[in-house]
Amino acid sequence: MLTGTLDDFTLADVLRLVAGARRTGDLAVTRDGGAGTLRFRDGAVSGAVPRYERRHPAASPAGAVEDLAFDLMRWGRGEFTWTPGASPPAGPETAVDVDDLLREVTRRLDELAQIRTLVPSEDAVLAMAPQPPEGAVQINITPAEWRVLVLVDGHRTAAGVAAAAGLDDLEGMRLLYGLAAAGLVAATRSADDAAEPPPPVSDDAPEEDDAPEAAIEPEAPAPEEAAHPEAPAPEAAIEPEAPAPEPAIEADASESETPAEAEEPDPFLAELAAEPASPFDTVPPAPHEAPAVDRSTAARELAGLFDDVDAPPGFERMAVAASPRPPAAPRRVEDDDQVTRGLISRLIDGVKGL
Amino acid sequence: MTRPLVRRNRLARGARPLKIVVTGPFAAGKTSLIQTISEVAVVGTERVISDETRSRKETTTVAMDFGRVSLSNGLSLLLFGTPGQRRFEVMWEVLSDGMIGFVLLVNGADERSAAEAARQLAQFREYADVPFVVGVTHLDEPGMDAERTLASVRDRLDVGPETEVVPCDPRSREDVKDVMLRILFGVLRRLEPVAATP
């Protein structure tokens, strides 16, 4: 058994190391906002045992693994305990590849980072916008959005709204983000009046520094302004790259696991306990590159591309892409009422003149 | 994810700028194409590559490239380049929203490129039914048989004769203009089916 903290290296590093060494055992993790055990069989995650039941448990073992990993990686400090050897299965087993798991968690963390640009934390208190979005002539919301909107009262936190609506925090924040992006609600303050910053984002997503304070402006942004990714540049939502695969730990990979060996000093554990040198060194975030043009100007143009919706580039469709797409005929260019023969002819003339 | 739809008075929000998306596999030349034609410096989101593809290219686009082409008649076209690596494909649908057409660039010197492009093409056709042009790049590399490569790319993409598969040097302004015009004429044909040829 090995116990350690997640101060010096990240949970993602530990997962990759276990996967690279193709180990079997239980990785119990306790973090500020979540706790549970990820079970490994030959380096793949075979199951998840969350300490606290989710409001909406995943339908599949693989989904449960993703949910728990996300819960564990979205928070900051924590501790882990590695117990080698197979445990009796707690339920149906699965075999989730760690790289795939980290990609999915990274995607969710990206989404959460984007959400936090308008809904800074689960503790954020939201209020309905006093005025409808500028220029709005019609506002359509879904039943789910309605159930959330009526709970936004200027007192409940985002987590409180989600709980009252019977949603997981993330799903509730997703809906609140949509409402905020449309200019219908705005974060006003955190529950403790910003005395305490939002929960630290895990080191597992080092670039997720989307400056939540910038999004908690007391005045509700006009829709066009909300569409501008003022705090996050357009790439901010995607910036946290999927963790690069870690090379396998060849020295341990071929070792069999027997009770006798379990009593011996495990080279894997020794490596895990060692100074986190190369195996734990994550790829450093790329330095932020200064834009070559005025980014706010570019952002305004980008926002204009979203027609009459106000999502900052990159958010809504990311989520759509990750969920089952309802069958629908692709949009046809000839059905676009802004694309006319006259306009295209003028564009052709203009391009010819370049 | 759902979100409210706020419809605005058109006069209040103004006309939407039209955009063309430049997509294609990793290292096909998407960023170069946009840099060639855009009169503003491209808002690129390149990052140093940290994985095994580094041997082919030092940096890659992780979110998008953005360029603008202002035309003499006061109009402008916006160009969006998609990330080439599959792990960033969550951006594809975002960038394809509202496009009037797209350029699919294929690296003719890399056999893997056409296979990946076929997958991307299928994906983009799901996003929108808009005209597109296949631009084959890297045809100037030593030993390349351009005609045979174009035919090979067409086969790999499994597209019919109605699809234009053309050579495209993304560093050539004329080549870039050519693919843009082909797309615009493709749109025009959709709007008036009996007219419009380049």
**DSSP label at residue A96:** B
Q: Using a CB–CB cutoff of 8 Å, tell me whether B2 touches chain A.
A: yes
Residues B95-129 as b or e (16 or more Cβ within 10 Å = b): bbbbbbbbbbbbbbbbeebbebbbebbeebeebbe
Q: What is the pLDDT of residue B42?
A: 52
CB contact under 8 A, A314 and B75: no
CB contact under 8 A, B17 and A305: yes
Strands B132-137 and B164-167, by their bridges, are parallel
Report pLDDT digits (tens) over A260-279.
344 454 555 554 444 333 33
Strand partners, B67: B79
* Residues in chain A closer than 8 A to B62 (CB atoms): 235, 238-239, 241
Name residue A28's amino acid. Answer: A
Q: What is the pLDDT of residue A240?
A: 34
Please check the confidence at residue A10 and state whether its pLDDT lies above 50. Answer: yes
Task: Name which residue leads in pLDDT, B109 or B50.
Answer: B109
Q: Which secondary-structure segment (H or E) carries B30?
A: helix B30-37
Q: What is the pLDDT of residue A296?
A: 42
Task: Name which residue leads in pLDDT, A311 or B95.
Answer: B95
Q: What is the pLDDT of residue B157?
A: 95
Q: What's the rounded Cα separation, in Å, for the pair A254 and A251?
A: 7
ipTM over 0.95: no
Mean pLDDT on A126-141:
77
Name residue B117's amino acid. Answer: A
* Residues in chain A closer than 8 A to B87 (CB atoms): 103, 241-242
> Which positions 67-96 of B are in contact with A (Cβ < 8 Å)?
68-69, 71-73, 75, 77-78, 83, 87-95
Q: How confident is the model at residue A302 (pLDDT cuts 50, 70, 90)?
A: very low
Task: Name which residue leads in pLDDT, A104 or A56.
Answer: A104
Mean pLDDT on A250-267:
40
CB contact under 8 A, A307 and B78: no
Q: Is B90 helix (H, G, I), strand (E, B) or coil?
A: helix
- For B71, which of A184, A238, A351 is closest by C-beta distance? A351
- pTM confidence score: 0.41
Please check the confidence at residue B158 and state whether its pLDDT lies above 60. Answer: yes
Q: Using a CB–CB cutoff of 8 Å, tell me whether B197 touches chain A.
A: no
Range picked from A32-36, A154-158, B111-115, B135-139 for highest mean pLDDT: B135-139
**DSSP label at residue A157:** B
Report pLDDT digits (tens) over B81-98.
887 656 556 667 777 888
Please check the confidence at residue B50 and state whether its pLDDT lies above 90. Answer: no
Pairs of residues, one from chain A and one from chain B, whose beta carbons lie less than 8 Å apart = 239
How far out from the chain centre does Cα B81 lie? 6
In chain A, the residue whose alpha carbon lies closest to the alpha carbon of B50 is: A244
Q: What's the rounded Cα separation, in Å, for the pair A75 and A183?
A: 29
Please check the confidence at residue A184 and state whether its pLDDT lies above 50. Answer: yes
Q: How far is A11 from chain B (nearest CA, A)?
A: 19
In chain A, the residue whose alpha carbon lies closest to the alpha carbon of B173 is: A354
